Chain A
């Protein structure tokens, strides 16, 4: 069974790019374009990995992450952060990795492979 990746990204072009990339590489990817939508989808069906577009000062990325940590079933899902902002992310212990935009797709695939196979 293919591993499921949830892409949380509000820019449609980038989201579709990620989805195609993951699908091409044997994963099953689907898109949520904001935190609320993402939360619903995560509760409905647990993904194996989440890529999270984390932009400050937008707060929904942060909120989504914190909400995830509160739920036992969800707090252990590995998260890869993809962001255009230079800031540090000190409190995101569950982040497996943090990539800057524009990201290197080979590196992203490698991290995904290392995390979920």
Chain B
């Protein structure tokens, strides 16, 4: 119902005479009696004042408000804000349809894009709120939130609807921006997460108590996914913090620190790492978290170890090689001068010497070549006796040629053992050649012999190699298997024995020697079957 009719309605309520009565009723107002005309004027004034007040309220609302007829959708009234929004005059608006003014459409709005709130409100009798896109007079889009309230007539039907439209363009824009920022943020976060996890280093973020707050994939693969535990528990298997700790140092100094460490993985493998730390300042600039990045350098260290032991070996060997070369010089000198002087003894000495020296050099070179290659063992079951027969066939000629007696003692059947046949052959041949050398060096006896004894006790196979050569003094015995063994003179390098021992150790076996200087030596090699 509009203002005017309301006003009239109020008027008629107050002043309607009773049916059939022409008498003027008595009316009191403010404790005095007033006449109907007076009352009429008074109430007119009140209604006017009420009306003006309502109009004031209507026009001071900053949202665009229009009153719309529920059946015709025609605008019955509109406030100033409404008129301003569409840059229209009252005349243009009153009587026109809501959808014409706000949507520039001749038909009502339809769902799904713009559901008509008037229709909903009229139907349901309750308020409806929707978001619409309205068009201003110039065609510019305005995002609005419309709330429609029902106005009921006397019969309870929805006669008109109060249509309040709030400009939410700014809000919409802000929402759009926010959505975009969130999307960007999510993308960046995804990228960061991917980066974090794809880096081929162990990365962990730790707090001041050395607890893990975040770890990357590589870290989790090797040390587990648990967070909140202490770093030193995870990869050092310790109960207390290490000292010095580069992470702690970073907390103290705010600078990056590095160190070299050995971590132990979940599987119990040792990993050499180079650790580098970085402080992570918070928004206030304080360092409450530190990032630890560790690069696996196990391979490099292995290579380095290998190189340095190779270098060391070559260094310690070059010494022995020089002796061998001097020995060859000597042999050649005897040969040369032997021919000059026509001295057969000297010639023979020369040739013997040269042969021996060349053999030793040859062996040294082969040992170096063998040692410099990293080789794994290829284990396979091998018959013990066949293996030994093969071995003896290989060394017998050399032993006999040197006038040394060879004695072999073993049963026909000693089962089989799990060995790398080639490597073990080399190992035992080295020992046998050593025995030959010992015999040749020994000038105190006329008859030399080497004996090979083989036995088996349950799962242990034992080789005994005995010679009655020159034997060794205590110092030589202690050093003989080590790379520290600085072999002097023309005896060679001692690498052969080192290699023998390594191979036997890799088979899980042991090697021991008993020796008496001047009498001989016994080498005892035991191998698990």
Q: Which residue of the partner chain A has the closest CB to B491?
A: A11
Which residues of A sit under 8 angstroms from B326, Cβ to Cβ?
14, 17, 84, 101-103
Which residues of A sit under 8 angstroms from B353, Cβ to Cβ?
13
A85 to chain B, nearest CB (A): 7
In the complex, how many residue pairs between chain A and chain B have their CB atoms under 8 Å apart?
A: 62
| In the bound complex, CA of A102 to CA of B488 (Å) | 13
| In the bound complex, CA of A12 to CA of B329 (Å) | 14
A13 touches B488 (CB 8 A): no
The answer to whether residues A55 and B488 also contact, given A84-B319, A101-B322 and a CB cut-off of 8 A, is yes
The answer to whether residues A101 and B323 also contact, given A11-B488, A13-B490 and a CB cut-off of 8 A, is yes
B337 touches A24 (CB 8 A): yes
| In the bound complex, CA of A84 to CA of B491 (Å) | 13
B323 touches A84 (CB 8 A): yes
Q: Which residue of the partner chain B has the closest CB to A82?
A: B326
A20 at the interface (CB under 8 A from B): yes
The answer to whether residues A11 and B489 also contact, given A17-B329, A105-B333 and a CB cut-off of 8 A, is yes
B330 touches A100 (CB 8 A): no
| In the bound complex, CA of A11 to CA of B334 (Å) | 16
A17 touches B488 (CB 8 A): no
| In the bound complex, CA of A85 to CA of B323 (Å) | 10
A102 touches B322 (CB 8 A): yes
The answer to whether residues A85 and B319 also contact, given A11-B488, A11-B491, A13-B353 and a CB cut-off of 8 A, is yes
A10 at the interface (CB under 8 A from B): yes
Most buried by B among A16, A20, A55, A103: A20
| In the bound complex, CA of A62 to CA of B121 (Å) | 116
Q: Which of B322, B334, B486, B491 contacts A17 (CB 8 A)?
A: B334
A100 touches B322 (CB 8 A): yes
Q: Which of A9, A17, A101 contacts B333 (CB 8 A)?
A: A17
20 A-B residue pairings within 8 Å (CB atoms): A11-B489, A12-B489, A13-B489, A14-B323, A14-B327, A14-B330, A17-B330, A20-B330, A20-B334, A20-B346, A21-B333, A55-B486, A84-B322, A84-B326, A85-B319, A101-B323, A101-B325, A102-B322, A102-B329, A103-B326
- A-contacting residues of B (Cβ < 8 Å)? 319-320, 322-323, 325-331, 333-334, 337, 346, 353, 357, 486, 488-491
